[in-house]
Homo-oligomer: A and B are copies of this chain.
Amino acid sequence: MNHGGNMVGIEDVAAAAGVSTATVSRAIRGLPRVSPRTRAKILATAKELGYVPSSAASRLASGKTHTIGVLAPYVDRWFFGKAIAGVDRELHGRGYNLSLFNLGGRTQPRERLFSKAMVQKQIDALLLLCMYLHQEEIEDLHAIDMPLVVVGGPVPGLSNVGIDDYQAARTITEHLIELGHRHIALLHGQDDSDLNFSVPRIRVEGFHDAVHQAGLEFDPDTALFGNFTVESGVEAMRRFLELPAPRPTAIVCASDEMALGVMFEARRHGIRIPEELSVVGIDGHEMAAAVGLTTVWQDPTAQARRGTQMLLAELGGDEGAVHPENAEQRLIVRESTAPPRH
């Protein structure tokens, strides 16, 4: 253990092992063209000396940062937390670092983070978590010259891994229809600025199509809005309760978090679920299971891992590794849905 001062460098190892720095470099990075014996010796002395390569020097010389950037609009929300965990799990152990860029929900007044150069010099590849994007940001993204994948909602022109949101919304809505519901309310998920954030819109489309194809009508007055949070679900339920009778017998929420808010507030008002109101969500939040919410399950962690694998493969020279891919989703019927009473 040598303290503070002069960290041991590659030259020290080279000298101690009686070889050149070039050989040490190859040996340590597991490159070929090093005899087993020399490699063993080098590795041994390196460990003995407590040598750790300077990533800064390595970056400069090689041009590789061994860092993956993750751009997320939030980190403290279900989908994003799960996804970030997935990226990390995939990176960990492969010697890659995870650099987190959290846009903190700020929408308008955010600098052009993607500006080619700014990001390009810090990371080898970018994983974008689904979010709203301004037109110019999308353009910047297209201009970025490095492996790039988006996890979650689709972004025009970019490869993404995620569920089929349209189908998810249809599935969950049809479940309600099959149970006999004819009057269904919708809690839109609408983010701060959804100019190009397609997930909310796509889910809504799935809902509408399911309703219309069943020959039902959607009463625009029963369209509620929320921003994907539990709180907004609570508020939406308050507004729902003010709707004139006959009220819808079911409500489809664009996310589990909002659905949970709806359920909580319903209970608070003594409305029994599912007897008086059926509630469904989309996502597969752990709490959804705990409260018995019927939903379409998805696994953001797995999606993020998949996206990361693609990025890594592409970096490893496997061209075309990054490509659009649909993720697993599954209807899970629990106790928040039942036939309407009438």
Contact = CB atoms under 8 A, between A and B. Distances in A.
Contact of A290 (B97, B102, B264): B264
Residue among A60, A268, A292 with the highest chain B CB neighbour number at 10 A: A60
A82 B74 CA distance: 10
Contacts of A143: 1
A239 interface: no
Nearest to A50: B117
Contact of A55 (B54, B115, B122): B122
Interface string A157-185: 00000000000000000000000000000
Given A85-B74, A85-B75, A99-B97, A231 B286 contact: yes
A46 to B, nearest CB: 11
A214 interface: no
Nearest to A74: B85
A89 interface: yes
Given A52-B117, A118-B52, A100 B88 contact: yes
Contacts of A57: 60
A287 B260 contact: yes
Given A52-B121, A56-B56, A59-B56, A100 B102 contact: no
A84 interface: yes
Q: How many copies does the complex hold?
A: 2
Residue among A117, A229, A290 with the highest chain B CB neighbour number at 10 A: A290
B121 A104 contact: no
Nearest to A265: B290
Interface string A41-63: 00000000011111111011001
A291 interface: yes
Contacts of A231: 286, 289-290
Contacts of A80: 81
Nearest to A93: B111
A30 interface: no
Contact of A76 (B7, B50, B85, B230): B85
A92 interface: yes
A122 B59 CA distance: 11
A264 B291 contact: yes
A256 to B, nearest CB: 11
A88 B102 contact: yes
A102 B117 contact: no
A152 interface: no
Contacts of A122: 55, 97
Interface string A243-285: 0000000000000000011001101100000000000000000
A316 interface: no
A156 interface: no
8 contacts: A7-B117, A55-B121, A55-B122, A60-B60, A76-B84, A77-B81, A88-B101, A264-B291
